[in-house]
Structure 1
């Protein structure tokens, strides 16, 4: 496959990262002027610890970045992870220690509040360190930029003067979008009180734009004339976003649907400041299992740690890749399916034509951190010997005291040379399966007694299994199961009813695996014991 072939396919691919990349190619048909790298940005509010939303934004932006590099045959790019750590702390987070310390510093810039964890220079420095550790853990290629560093060092001073020069025009954009009471106190510039250090939400008067001097009323009512340069002020959110786009030269930034209006207003302000709104994707927000919007205060979300406890990093990336413009539920129950669907796409990748590969999430995920994509990607075409769903069913029947080693002893019924070292991907799923089963499956299991016709069918299945050697192939066992379900003597209206009876009487669940595979995995003798237990009910 030549690069020209890949580029040609990328130009017509319907995969969303390529659709986004083509926006940038259209923005810079000859490349960015002066050979400058195209700048991708993600934003992070360090008032709390990094979460799944932080991960998805960096991942999705990285996927667009890599797609753009393919489309342009390696045009230079950069990714900046920007921390809004000059923001004033509005409320005390629920998930940090020493809340009293934070409460005593409400309103101050996050980078000027002591670290409640007692490890870093400030609360923002702690959370910024967690962000970098978080992004490094997943191998992202990025540059960290702190708002406090830019404001305090004077790097934003010229941009701040530009805001003061265009103060009236910016107010003309913002005031019509605000309620009357908010209009009375609104200012694009938020001075830091010289007496308390709090970021003030007060009207300001521009005294000297070139010198950066404004006039405002401090918290005690006194009139203050103060520079906004060198960290003595920050900008209101939408103005700050626009200023940053222009000052840093941002070409691409995506955001959630809740910021749609912000994109519009910030885009207008960026134009006033002499710049250009970046390209970007507005993605849908996640919902909980009840279909309600996820809220930090409600605690109805899902953390990265939770996902990785019950699933894998690859399955998380796979789930976040798909359909970013559609609202999707994000809760524990989606993890098993995401794990197995990731592997289905990974297995197909090596055999797919190029155009299909470019639409395969695994193609994009394997490139995200500089890896090789397509049929040559490490692991492309691999197949799990046992699906995660089937592994969960095995663990479910083994009960609450199942161990990692015990699971592998049963995998020996199904996997040739069942050695964890030879099957690292499968081995990595055993502990998540044990955890998921313990926390979410076992509490819901209920083994009901079989009805009369079901009991007769189970006895027939037991008789068939008694005639089979222990190493009978899963397909041959499945054939026997089918034949019993189709036998009119047992009165099942459909095979679905027969399998439902098997799941509910043997496994304690209304849904289950392909029974031939399960029996081969669990063992014929062990399955006959399950049938005996069911019949005894």
Structure 2
């Protein structure tokens, strides 16, 4: 596929829109540091989750779109704020009593409750890197602890002293009166305990490169702001990081929106160039509430991939990132079938602009595989499972082989994966919710008409042709809304309120088998 610059600049796909914003931001020239820097952040007090995947996958989509626009080098940093003081003990870790003794300590200063790494922070960082590596993300890992202690941020810590009054004028109006009396952007590391302290700062000394505070005994304690002896509060830290690392692009969740202006202004105060920013909406559960790991109303990446291919979750992340979306198990089949539709359209489409707007282009970074499923969707497989109640995907393949004789697990590997996912999803989510309706006398007459229609087929009819014949029966029955007609058929035959196009399903299940299925309901 030949793509010219105009095609890319005129694409309305959101990753290209973001890429163009970055391109304009740098003036179309390679920054002095030699590359464009993308950044994502991670709070390592908990395991990486679906929100982590969302942020890194979406940022990667923008980065790959930027690579299509120009040949300016890029880098992606995944930054772990592992020097943050632990405020509460997570509920899903072992040895919680041991960890509780270290509240206030930086995550990298707390023993690993899992007993595997040198600290709690190191354990969580290892989990993050393993998580990102599993999906093939191209990134550079940065640790806040390493950056502070190695002096990477020293020049910014000194500049924070120089601009201390200006930063305080910015930050203080954002707090209540009581907090204003104790706030400082600097958080000293206690020389005795190693805890990250939120204490009033009595003296800021540029010449000595230090700040001073009073400890519990009233003694004035002086600590350097360099070498990891101090950390910045999280809001100034966010903007400082942009300035220190010269970040060009960062995404963040809507929960950061109230502080976005503060991050940007801190960056300006510290003489940094404010990066291009993009906020994404948060995920909701089935009831429309914000998902929360502590509430247990979310889906993990592992759970999603237990029921569907990776491409389906990538599509969910791609679609409408600025719109709040419900994230629950019922969305999984829809995402699988939407991905299959987009994949097919991508390979059928000749217009370059349409290809660039296709989610499959961004999910696969321009290298979109040509997937063959012989016209069989995930919803068709689920409904096939509904009538044959399989424990093994080979049962589904028995029907598939009759429907599409050329299809085999070897030459249709994606379809092979889908059959396994369909059996698992059906047994875990569909089977227990099935509720069959007993047909009324009027509905029995319609079912008998469908049997007569199916009995008169010669076997060469397509699923679409069978669908039209079913449609005609519903029309003749004078339903005000044909959706009600099909809903009734789904409830009688499949025990659910919705389903696939029945013509395609009947074709896949087999005409003789379908007639037997309908007769069993009469």
| TM-score (norm. length: structure 2) | 0.95
Match of residue 165 from structure 1: 162
Match of residue 198 from structure 1: 195
**3-state SS of paired residue (1:511):** coil
1:465 paired residue among 454, 463, 481: 454
Match of residue 485 from structure 1: 474
Post-superposition shift, 1:497? Answer: 3.3
Structure 1, residues 385-426: CA drift from partner, whole Å, max 9, x if none? 310111111112222x53121121122232223321111111
Bigger Cα displacement from structure 2, 353-362 vs 294-303: 294-303
The 8 Å contact of residues 350 and 381 in structure 1, kept in 2 or not, is answered as: no
What's the RMSD between the two structures over aligned residues? Answer: 1.9
The 8 Å contact of residues 486 and 494 in structure 1, kept in 2 or not, is answered as: no
| Separation of aligned partners in 2, 1:39 and 1:295 | 30
1:142 paired residue among 139, 143, 155: 139
2:438 paired residue among 442, 449, 453: 449
The 8 Å contact of residues 343 and 384 in structure 1, kept in 2 or not, is answered as: no
Match of residue 370 from structure 1: none
**Mapping for residues 52-131 of structure 1, pairs under 5 Å:** 52-72=50-70, 74-131=71-128
Structure 1, residues 326-373: CA drift from partner, whole Å, max 9, x if none? 111111111111111111111111232111112111111111xxxxx2
The 8 Å contact of residues 249 and 277 in structure 2, kept in 1 or not, is answered as: yes
| Separation of aligned partners in 1, 2:268 and 2:471 | 68
| Separation of aligned partners in 2, 1:512 and 1:307 | 21
2:506 paired residue among 519, 523, 526: 519
Post-superposition shift, 1:30? Answer: 4.2
The 8 Å contact of residues 360 and 368 in structure 2, kept in 1 or not, is answered as: no
**3-state SS of paired residue (1:175):** helix
Match of residue 386 from structure 2: 396
Bigger Cα displacement from structure 2, 133-142 vs 456-465: 456-465
Q: Is 1:318 equivalent to 2:307 in the alignment?
A: no
Bigger Cα displacement from structure 2, 345-354 vs 496-505: 496-505
Change (3 A) 1:240 1:412: same
Post-superposition shift, 1:450? Answer: 0.4
Match of residue 355 from structure 1: 353
The 8 Å contact of residues 385 and 415 in structure 1, kept in 2 or not, is answered as: no
Post-superposition shift, 1:206? Answer: 3.5
Change (3 A) 1:354 1:445: same
The 8 Å contact of residues 105 and 113 in structure 1, kept in 2 or not, is answered as: yes
| Separation of aligned partners in 2, 1:451 and 1:282 | 53
| Separation of aligned partners in 1, 2:159 and 2:484 | 72
Bigger Cα displacement from structure 2, 295-304 vs 45-54: 295-304
| Separation of aligned partners in 2, 1:506 and 1:494 | 19
Q: Is 1:32 equivalent to 2:21 in the alignment?
A: no
Structure 1, residues 303-343: CA drift from partner, whole Å, max 9, x if none? 11111112221111111111111111111111111111111
Post-superposition shift, 1:160? Answer: 1.1
**3-state SS of paired residue (1:510):** coil
**Mapping for residues 189-268 of structure 1, pairs under 5 Å:** 189-268=186-265
| Separation of aligned partners in 1, 2:2 and 2:507 | 45
**3-state SS of paired residue (2:145):** helix
Change (3 A) 1:305 1:384: farther
Post-superposition shift, 1:158? Answer: 1.9
| Separation of aligned partners in 1, 2:397 and 2:460 | 16
| Separation of aligned partners in 2, 1:494 and 1:12 | 42
**Mapping for residues 147-158 of structure 1, pairs under 5 Å:** 147-158=144-155
Q: Is 1:440 equivalent to 2:429 in the alignment?
A: yes
Change (3 A) 1:384 1:127: farther
| Separation of aligned partners in 2, 1:130 and 1:470 | 55
Change (3 A) 1:211 1:396: farther
Bigger Cα displacement from structure 2, 294-303 vs 42-51: 294-303
1:346 paired residue among 343, 348, 353: 343
Change (3 A) 1:318 1:210: farther
| TM-score (norm. length: structure 1) | 0.93
Post-superposition shift, 1:221? Answer: 4.2
2:375 paired residue among 353, 374, 385: 385
| Separation of aligned partners in 1, 2:374 and 2:47 | 34
| Separation of aligned partners in 1, 2:120 and 2:210 | 29
Structure 1, residues 234-267: CA drift from partner, whole Å, max 9, x if none? 1100111111111111111111111113221121
**Mapping for residues 486-505 of structure 1, pairs under 5 Å:** 486-488=475-477, 492-505=479-492
| Separation of aligned partners in 1, 2:416 and 2:404 | 12
| Separation of aligned partners in 2, 1:225 and 1:384 | 72
The 8 Å contact of residues 47 and 124 in structure 2, kept in 1 or not, is answered as: yes
**Mapping for residues 296-307 of structure 1, pairs under 5 Å:** 296-307=293-304
Structure 1, residues 265-293: CA drift from partner, whole Å, max 9, x if none? 12111111111211111111111111112
2:413 paired residue among 414, 421, 424: 424
Q: Is 1:271 equivalent to 2:268 in the alignment?
A: yes
Post-superposition shift, 1:498? Answer: 2.9
Count of residue pairs brought into register by the alignment: 521
Q: Is 1:528 equivalent to 2:515 in the alignment?
A: yes
Unaligned runs of 5+ in 1: 368-372
Change (3 A) 1:494 1:214: closer
Structure 1, residues 32-69: CA drift from partner, whole Å, max 9, x if none? 34361011100111010001111111111111112222
Post-superposition shift, 1:473? Answer: 4.0
The 8 Å contact of residues 372 and 415 in structure 2, kept in 1 or not, is answered as: no
